Chains A and B, each alone.
Chain A
Amino acid sequence: MTTWEVFGRRRVNDSLSHVGRIHAVDRQTALVLARETHFRHNEAVDYAVVRTDQLHHVEDKSILERHVDIDYRLQAGYSGFRDKRAAAREAAERRGMTDLQTRPAPGRDVSSEST
C-alpha cells in the first residue's frame, strides 16, 4: 500500500511541518486518515499529504556542511555593539556633538525586537 507523508500547520502563521506518515490507498483516504491520525485535538488549522515516493531527500548531506567561515551570514558574526556604540558616543563628545535632544523614553524603540 502507498505511504503518505503528512504535513500540518499549527497556526496560520506557521509553515507546514512534517508530523508523520500514514498508509492509504488513495489521496482522499489519505486526507481522511491523516485527519484521524494526527489532527484530532486541534493540532492544525491546515494540513496536506504527499506520497512518500514524491518526496525527494537531499542525497549528499555534505552540501549543508560549513567548509569555510560563514559568520557574516549569522547574527554571531556581528558582535561587540555595546563597545562600538560607546566608542561612537565618545567620538561624538570629542566633536562637541553632545546636545541631548528630547527623545522618546527608552522601551519605545522597536529595533531590539528584531536583534
Chain B
Amino acid sequence: MPGLIPTRDEMDGRTAAFVDHIHDGGKVEARDWMPDTYRALNLKFIEMHANSEIMGALPEREWIARAPSLKRKRSLAAKVQDEVGHGQLIYRVAESLGKPRAEMYADLVAGRGRFHNVFHYPTFTWGDVACIGFLVDGAAIVTQRALTDTSYAPYLRVMRRVVAEESLHYRHGEDILLALASGTDAQVEMLQEAVNRWWTPILHFFGTDVAREDDPSIFWGIKPRTNEESRQEWMTTYIPKLWDVGISLPDDELAWDPETEVWSYTEPDWQELADLVKGDPSEATATRLWWKQQLAAHNDWIRDVVLGDEAPVVAA
C-alpha cells in the first residue's frame, strides 16, 4: 500500500506520467484522469479552504452591528459577503472533485468539517477586527497567492479571482489598524492586546515546519511552497508594518537576521493547535455552529422554493 508520497516503484505507468506532468508545472482539469490520492488530497485541502471562508466570515459578522461608524459597518458587511462568496466559489471547485456541495455544507454545519485554526477563536474587541482584517487576512493572502500556481486548474483560476478581492480586504484591515494605532492611548492598548492574543494563532495558521520532500501537498502540486516559507514571507511583510506604528510582538526571540535572511522566533506549542482543530469545538466554534444550525433549519424553506425537488447535479 503506497503512502501519500509514493516511490517510483509503487506507481503504475499512468500515475508516474501524471506526477511527471505536475512536477513539470503541468495543470490538471476536472475532466482529466487523476490518481485517487491526488483527488482525495485536493478535495480535503479545497473543502477545508471553503469551510474556512464560511467560518471566517462569522467572527467578523459578529462585529457588523457593533462597528463604530456607518462607514465601518458597510465595509465590514461587504467584506463578510465577499468571504461567503469565496466560500461558494471554492465549494464549486471542491465539488468538481466528486463530493456534492450539500454534503460538504451539511458536514460543516454538523461540526464534522475541518477549517483553519484562526476561526476557532472568540473576538473580544474592535482590536480583534483589526487583527483579523490585517494580520489574519494577510496570512491568508500569502497562502492564497501561492495557490495561484497550484496544479489543479479550476482551483488556480478561482484563486486568482479571490486574491484580487482579498487585496481590498487588506486595505480595509490596514485602514482599521492605522486608525487604532493613531488613536487614543486606550485604542492603542486595545490594538496591542489583540495583537498579543493573535500572535500564536497566526504562527499556528501556517502549520508545522514540514520539509519540502516530506509534504504530500507539495509532492502532488497542491501548494508550491512549504509552511515555513509562507510563515517567513508573512513575517517579512507584516512585522515591520506593526513595528512602524509602534506595535510590538509578544516574543523576545523574534528577530530578523540580515545575514541568513531568516526570521527567528519562539516555536509555538503545536499540541495547542492539534487540540484546537482536532479536539472538541472551542466555545466560540460551538456557538457559531449552533447559529449556523439554527439558520440552516430556519432557511430550509427558501432552499425548497428556489430548488424545488431537484438536487443540483455535480458537473463532470
Contacts and interface: CB of A to CB of B under 8 A. Distances in A.
B149 to A, nearest CB: 9
Q: What 9 A-B pairs come out closest when comparing CB atoms?
A: A92-B246, A97-B246, A78-B171, A114-B167, A88-B245, A88-B181, A72-B75, A84-B178, A91-B182
Interface string A84-97: 11011111110101
Nearest to A72: B75
Contact of B237 (A74, A92, A97, A109): A109
Interface stretch (B43-51, B254-262, B274-282, B302-310): B254-262
Interface stretch (B8-16, B106-114, B152-160, B197-205): B152-160
Given A111-B238, A115-B170, 15 more contacts: A12-B27, A12-B156, A13-B153, A77-B75, A81-B175, A84-B182, A85-B178, A88-B245, A89-B244, A91-B245, A95-B188, A102-B255, A108-B237, A110-B145, A110-B233
18 contacts: A13-B153, A72-B78, A75-B167, A75-B168, A77-B75, A81-B171, A89-B244, A91-B245, A95-B246, A97-B246, A97-B247, A97-B248, A99-B243, A101-B255, A109-B236, A109-B240, A111-B138, A111-B238
A35 to B, nearest CB: 17
Contacts of A108: 236-237
A92 to B, nearest CB: 3
Contacts of B182: 84, 87-88, 90-91
Interface in B126-167: 138, 141-142, 145, 148, 153, 156-157, 160, 163, 166-167
Given A14-B157, A111-B138, A78 B243 contact: no
For the residues of B in contact with A, the DSSP-based class is helix
A99 B185 CA distance: 18
